[in-house]
Structure 1
Amino acid sequence: MKERKIEPGTPLNDHKYSIVVDRKGPYMVYGRPPMKQQFIVQNEEGTSWSYRDGIEFDLEDDPVALCRCGASKNHPFCDGSHLTTNWDPSLTADNIPLLDNADVFDGPELELTDNEKYCAFARFCDAYGKVWNLVEESDDKEARELTVREANYCPAGRLKAWDKEKGEFIENRLTPSLVLLEDPQERCSGPLFVRGGIPIDDTEGVKYELRNRVTLCRCGASSNKPFCDGTHASIRFRDGLPGPHGEAKR
């Protein structure tokens, strides 16, 4: 069986947690990892800057099935709606290591890798100057700190900062957990943010690259399944969970 590739900077845990993508149905989550809701919070300039915690979930079943078609009436859990709703469950991602097809933006102290195909449209890359411009000024302390921060806040791992002197990626060590992202500014619900190197397979034995930051599609409409490609924002996907002020969002 083909070995799983591991992206540089990914923590190697004991892997008591795992996710299996049903090729025709939900995400099967094993090991009862911590799972919570998080809201994208804007800065004073109206761009994404931080996360704020919402509901925490106690996963009682093992495994637990999480919706990936977008049609469940019991989000984030699967209720069988994938059997009757009109959606395409095809797993179209090529499973080539993300960095293999990434563009590289060079700066004096840092390099920035960027694979736009995995963009989850969280927009942390725009805070206080676009990260692609900031990396070009990375010999300036503030620009360097912002480059590293904006790259690390990208939930999809599309962006990664490389320390040229040390010869290594600057990657925050994330605890293995699941996050249901919510985007109040865009008035939509976002992807399933898989953090801390949780292995992801499919039901036919495909072993997806192990990464520190991964976003999986929850709206059912991504063209890069099982990964998010930001389509949730254009279709205004809403999961119906409580919103930022406690109100149901639909």
Structure 2
Amino acid sequence: MSNEPVTLFEGQEIDVSWDGRLCIHLGECGKAEGDLFVGGREPWCRPDAVSRAEVREVVERCPTGALSYRDKTGEPEPAPGENRAMVANNGPLYLSGDLEIEGAPDDMPGVRRRVALCRCGASKNKPFCDNSHAEARFEDGGAVGSRGPGLSEHGGPLKVRLMPDGPLKLEGNLTIQAGSGRLAWEGTQTALCRCGASKNKPFCDGSHRAAGFKSD
């Protein structure tokens, strides 16, 4: 593996990139059937081992944006028809959709569609999750109490603003999925906790101020 944060695996029809800054090793790629990703093999990823369609399908399973592809036909990864935030049990906020994340580097193309954002407050790679929730013993089952105001349509851009020393502000059509899998909240704007201290998780209740949360 390269020491660079992004490793490129080139194929005849499609290339795959892996970004070590975003990977939290959930195993969606390594456990996928087929020979695209094989642990212990060099190279670990071989885009020509499977069809272009399978490369796209498996890469799109990655919930953190660590994996992305460049289809040489020029066809980009499509935006999902729905923007969704999944509140993981004792873990991060998984966002998927047509994402516009404030300040996201241009060399992180995967986060335009899929990303795992820290909600424990302990990540050393904020706003992204780096698995620090395990060491911090962050506990929240991902229950969502509010139904939200509802939606008249789905999809479209979802803007994610990183408030300094404060919450994530989301603007756009959004569905929040509870840790149980239930589709729980729908609306077009909300503020979500990323300090880990809110008593109304996943929503912000202003606790970041008393907690002295620092977003840098």
Give the TM-score range, shorter chain. 0.5 to 0.7
Runs of 4+ in structure 1 displaced over 4 angstroms? 56-59, 96-99
Pair 1:238 & 2:214 matched: yes
Q: Which amino acid aligns with 2:109?
A: E
Q: Is the 8 A contact 1:26 1:68 kept in 2?
A: yes
Structure 2: unaligned runs, 5 residues or longer: 1-79, 151-155
Output the aligned Cα RMSD: 2.4
Q: In 2, distance between residues paired with 1:221 and 1:79?
A: 18
Of 174, 181, 193 in structure 2, the residue corresponding to residue 198 of structure 1 is 174
Pair 1:178 & 2:160 matched: yes
- State the partner residue of 1:94: 145
Equivalences for 1:74-89 in 2 at 5 Å? 74-89=125-140
Question: In the TM superposition, what is the alpha-carbon distance from 1:60 to its structure 2 partner?
Answer: 2.7
Higher RCO (CA < 8 A, seq sep 6+): 1
Paired residues, number = 129
Question: In the TM superposition, what is the alpha-carbon distance from 1:230 to its structure 2 partner?
Answer: 0.5
Partner-residue secondary structure (3-state), 1:209: strand
How has the CA–CA distance of structure 1 residues 97 and 176 changed in structure 2, closer, same or farther, with 3 Å as cutoff?
Answer: closer
Q: Which amino acid aligns with 1:77?
A: F
Equivalences for 1:1-250 in 2 at 5 Å? 15-36=81-102, 55-58=103-106, 59-61=108-110, 62-91=113-142, 93-97=144-148, 176-182=158-164, 189-240=165-216
How has the CA–CA distance of structure 1 residues 204 and 92 changed in structure 2, closer, same or farther, with 3 Å as cutoff?
Answer: closer
Q: In 2, distance between residues paired with 1:29 and 1:221?
A: 20
How has the CA–CA distance of structure 1 residues 92 and 202 changed in structure 2, closer, same or farther, with 3 Å as cutoff?
Answer: closer
TM-score, normalised relative to structure 1 = 0.46
How has the CA–CA distance of structure 1 residues 70 and 226 changed in structure 2, closer, same or farther, with 3 Å as cutoff?
Answer: same
Partner-residue secondary structure (3-state), 2:185: coil
Q: In 2, distance between residues paired with 1:204 and 1:60?
A: 29
Give the % identical residues: 35
Q: In 2, distance between residues paired with 1:96 and 1:179?
A: 22
Q: In 2, distance between residues paired with 1:203 and 1:214?
A: 18
Q: In 1, distance between residues paired with 2:180 and 2:196?
A: 20
Q: Which amino acid aligns with 1:197?
A: N
Higher percent of residues as helix: 1
Partner-residue secondary structure (3-state), 2:126: coil
User: How big is each residue's C-alpha offset from its partner over 1:29-73, in whole Å with a ceiling of 9 and x where there is no partner?
Assistant: 11350011xxxxxxxxxxxxxxxxxx3444533532110110000
Structure 1: unaligned runs, 5 residues or longer: 1-13, 37-54, 100-173, 183-188, 241-250
User: How big is each residue's C-alpha offset from its partner over 1:115-142, in whole Å with a ceiling of 9 and x where there is no partner?
Assistant: xxxxxxxxxxxxxxxxxxxxxxxxxxxx
Question: In the TM superposition, what is the alpha-carbon distance from 1:98 to its structure 2 partner?
Answer: 6.4
Question: In the TM superposition, what is the alpha-carbon distance from 1:236 to its structure 2 partner?
Answer: 1.5
How has the CA–CA distance of structure 1 residues 28 and 92 changed in structure 2, closer, same or farther, with 3 Å as cutoff?
Answer: closer
Partner-residue secondary structure (3-state), 1:212: strand
Question: In the TM superposition, what is the alpha-carbon distance from 1:234 to its structure 2 partner?
Answer: 1.1
